[in-house]
Amino acid sequence: MSASERPLPKPSEPLPDLLPEQLLRAPHAPAATQPACQVTDLSLRTELFPTGWQTALARAPRIVLKPLPLQRSLPATINIPLRQAAIRTFGFSFPELPAADLGLLAPRPTRSPQRGADQGKSPAAKQTTRIKPPQDIIKLQDRLYYVLQPPLESLTGELRFPFQPFPYQLAGIAFLFPRHAAILADEMGLGKTMQAITAIRLLLHAREVRRVLLICPKPLVTNWKREFQLWAPEIPIGVIEGNQARRNWQWRQPATPVLLANYELLVRDQQIAVNDGLHFDLVLLDEAQRIKNRNSATSQVTRAIRRTRSWALTGTPVENSPEDLVGIFEFLSPGHLSSNMQARRMGLAARDYILRRRKEEVLTDLPPKMFRDAELDLTPEQWISYREAEEHGVVRLTEMGDELTIQHVFELVLRLKQICNFDPAGGSSSKLERLRADLEEVIASDQKAIVFSQWVDSLKRIRAALQPLPVLEYHGKIPARKRDRVIDQFRNDPSCHLMLMSYGAGSVGLNLQFCRYVFLFDRWWNPAVEDQAINRAHRIGASGPVTVTRMITINTIEEHIDQVLQEKRELFETIFSVAGTPASAGLNQDEIFGLFNLRMPPRKPRAAA
pLDDT, one tens digit per residue, over 533-555 is: 888 887 777 778 888 999 999 89
Cα–Cα distance, 218 to 227 (Å, whole number) = 15
- Local confidence band at 583 (pLDDT 50, 70, 90 cut-offs): very low
pLDDT at 181: 93
Q: Coil, helix or strand for 262?
A: strand
Q: In what order do the strands lie in the sheet with 517-520?
A: 369-376, 546-553, 517-520, 449-453, 498-502, 471-474
List alpha helices for 206-253, DSSP H.
221-231, 244-251
Task: Check pLDDT > 60 for residue 557.
Answer: yes
User: What's the pLDDT at 108?
Assistant: 38
**574: pLDDT confidence band, cut at 50, 70 and 90?**
low
The band of 54, judged by pLDDT with boundaries at 50, 70 and 90, is low
pLDDT of 483 higher than 50 = yes
The answer to whether residue 87 scores a pLDDT higher than 60 is: no
Q: Which fold has domain 169-362?
A: Rossmann fold (3.40.50)
Q: What are the structural domain ranges in the chain?
A: 169-362, 369-594
Least confident segment among 152-166, 274-288, 476-490 = 152-166
Which residues, at least 6 apart from 459, have a Cβ–Cβ distance to it below 8 Å?
451, 453, 473, 475, 500, 501, 502
Give the residue-averaged pLDDT of 452-473: 92
| More confident site: 45 or 107 | 45
Size of the chain, expressed as the number of residues it contains: 609
More confident residue, 236 or 139: 236
DSSP states of 559-591: HHHHHHHHHTHHHHHHHTTTTT--------HHH
Residue 242: phi and psi, rounded to 5, are 95, -165
Largest CA distance in the chain: 130
What is d(CA 423, CA 469) in angstroms, rounded to the nearest whole number? 23
In this prediction, residue 361 has a pLDDT band, given cuts at 50, 70 and 90, of confident
- Distance (Å, whole) CA 592 – CA 599: 10
Confidence bin at 607 (pLDDT 50/70/90)? very low
Instruction: Give the model's confidence band at 388: pLDDT under 50 very low, under 70 low, under 90 confident, else very high.
Output: very high
* pLDDT confidence bin for 383, thresholds 50/70/90: very high
Query: Is-contact 575 386, C-beta < 8 A?
Result: no
pLDDT at 105: 33
Position 581 pLDDT exceeds 80: no
**End-to-end CA separation in angstroms for the chain:** 116
pLDDT at 6: 52
Residues whose CB is less than 8 angstroms from the CB of residue 460 and which lie 6 or more positions away in sequence, other chains included: 473
Q: Which residues of 170-184 are buried (b: 16+ CB within 10 A; e: fewer)?
A: bbbbbbbbbbebbbb
* pLDDT tens digits, one per residue of 261-282: 999 999 999 888 887 888 999 9
Give tens-digit pLDDT for 301-311: 999 999 999 99
The one-letter amino acid code at 287 reads E
Determine the pLDDT at residue 352.
86
Answer with the residue of higher pLDDT: 539 or 118. Answer: 539
Q: In this structure, are strands 354-355 and 181-184 parallel, antiparallel, or unpaired? A: parallel
Residue 279 β-bridge partners:
306
Q: How far is CA 211 from CA 234, 363, 475, in A?
A: 15, 34, 34
Q: Quick one: what percent of the chain has pLDDT higher than 70? A: 67
Contacts of 229 (CB under 8 A, 6+ apart): none
* Per-residue confidence band for 136, with pLDDT thresholds at 50, 70 and 90: low
C-beta of residue 121 within 8 angstroms of C-beta of residue 363: yes
Mean pLDDT, the chain, whole residue set = 76
CATH 3.40.50.300 is the classification of domain 369-594: yes
pTM: 0.58
How many separate helices (H) and strands (E) can be counted in the chain?
23, 13
Give the pLDDT of residue 580: 40
